[in-house]
């Protein structure tokens, strides 16, 4: 599962803000100490109640519009956690033949395009050399 620092770095890369308080809230519900890895049964799936709570909290603390931004970061947090889990399960099932490069594009009409590929660590670094790798952001924090 991506670390707290990784989630914050991804948000910062996407938005310019780390949303640390949000990521801490997502991964540290009061029940987390009893649930361990199963903490994902709380705050890790879309519910209207969580969406409204997040939106209201951030709008009241940071101002109008921040609630919607926080909801988006919450959804990306959940998606990234699930992609990470799927990758780990895929690696167990398919070994070195698992796909480790996923490109997702969404057209204006809502059509989702997905492309899966295998890439070496060298190829991944080369593909993403124009962007700052999350691991580098996390290590420097």
91-141 tens-digit pLDDT: 999 998 899 999 999 999 999 999 999 999 888 888 776 665 555 555 443
Residue 121: predicted pLDDT: 87
Question: Would you say the C-alpha torsion 52, 54, 59, 64 has a positive or negative sign?
Answer: negative
Q: Yes or no: say if 114 and 102 are a contact pair by the CB < 8 Å rule.
A: yes
Give the pLDDT confidence of 41-68 residue by residue, as tens digits.
778 888 999 999 999 999 999 999 999 9
Task: Give the C-alpha separation, 67 to 63, whole Å.
Answer: 8
Surface-to-core class of residue 25, CB atoms within 10 Å of its CB (0-12 exposed, 13-18 middle, 19+ buried) = middle
116, 102 Cβ separation under 8 angstroms = yes
Q: What is the DSSP letter of 43?
A: S
């Amino acid at each position: 599962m991506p670390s707290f620092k990784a989630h914050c770095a991804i948000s910062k890369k996407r938005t310019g803000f780390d949303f640390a308080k949000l990521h801490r809230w997502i991964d540290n519900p009061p029940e987390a100490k009893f649930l361990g890895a199963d903490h994902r049964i709380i705050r890790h799936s879309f519910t209207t109640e969580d969406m409204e709570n997040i939106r209201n909290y951030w709008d009241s603390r940071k101002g109008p519009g921040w609630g919607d931004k926080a909801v988006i970061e919450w959804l990306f947090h959940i998606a990234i956690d699930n992609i990470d889990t799927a990758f780990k399960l895929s690696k167990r099932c398919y070994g070195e033949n698992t796909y480790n490069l996923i490109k997702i594009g969404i057209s204006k009409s809502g059509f989702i395009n997905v492309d899966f590929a295998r890439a070496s660590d060298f190829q991944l670094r080369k593909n993403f050399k124009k962007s700052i790798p999350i691991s580098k952001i996390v290590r420097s924090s």
